[in-house]
Structure 1
């Protein structure tokens, strides 16, 4: 039979495991919310997922520092793509895969792969974009937020296998 100290230690260990599992679940929700907001063009919702002093690094695609600047970055991203392609509109859907998280107290790191489909002017060609997001998270004011998001872009290729409109 376990004594009181052993039982208390087991309860503490189980409590720590539950806290970690809850954090992982919330961080997965956060990462999923990122992609939902991106797909829905909900720039205010996307900005709200970041800490006040967060950093966004999209490599050669630019970046931003701070929640407001990150929200502005995303709201300007699709118009920049339209301008770059000399198109009148862009249609984009982004999907995350294989989200992995390591929690360390009120901080965490994570990574997920993404697959994105981009289409300009409802043309026949859709472009497939693939890469990886590396994240840092912070638990603040009772919730998890992105502290840093870094994009590692693998490739963008045209994908034409019987692609049909609408998505």
Structure 2
């Protein structure tokens, strides 16, 4: 093989690798943006991360379809969680992502898995709970950026976490 052919092959390989690494970076930013929007109750921003034909599956908490349906689902989620705590009037929660793993399948599609930990607080004097689980995602590159096409939640458990819990700090 000639030097020019070797160089062309190397450039082609490096170009593909850079594209893959950029996609992984963008997908990790997408997953992080999901949690930022969720934590700040930015329902329109959260919905914009999904395609118009997206599917959300939260198991016992329900399902939603399309970015508009997903926006509606998340805006109602605090009320659904509140139903689980008898006597509680208010709720706050913060969701944190861990170990996001991405596999780029093509320039238009990818899959990913991430783990989450969520702190749920009912009223200021009430218990705090830890919610733990895994998200399994399918992504599509459309209109120049990555979106969620499918998000499935595998909810492991919710347990009280009150040792040393104080509010305010």
Flag whether TM exceeds 0.5 (same fold).
yes
Native 8 Å contact 1:54 1:146 kept in 2? yes
Q: After superposition, what is the alpha-carbon deviation per residue over 1:111-147, rounded to whole angstroms, capped at 9, x for unaligned?
A: 0000001011113410100000000000000000000
Q: Within 1, Cα distance between the matches of 2:167 and 2:47?
A: 30
Cα offset, 1:2, TM superposition: 5.2
Cα offset, 1:102, TM superposition: 0.1
Which residues in structure 2 correspond to 1:1-167 (within 5 Å)? 3-85=3-85, 86-105=87-106, 106-166=108-168
Q: Within 2, Cα distance between the matches of 1:166 and 1:20?
A: 45
TM-score, with structure 1 as normaliser: 0.96
Q: Within 2, Cα distance between the matches of 1:24 and 1:118?
A: 30
Cα offset, 1:163, TM superposition: 1.1
Q: How many residues end up aligned between the 2 structures?
A: 167
Q: Within 1, Cα distance between the matches of 2:31 and 2:115?
A: 11
TM-score, with structure 2 as normaliser: 0.95
Following TM superposition, the consecutive aligned residue runs of length 4 or more in structure 1 with deviations greater than 6 angstroms are none
Structure 1, unmatched stretches of 5+, are none
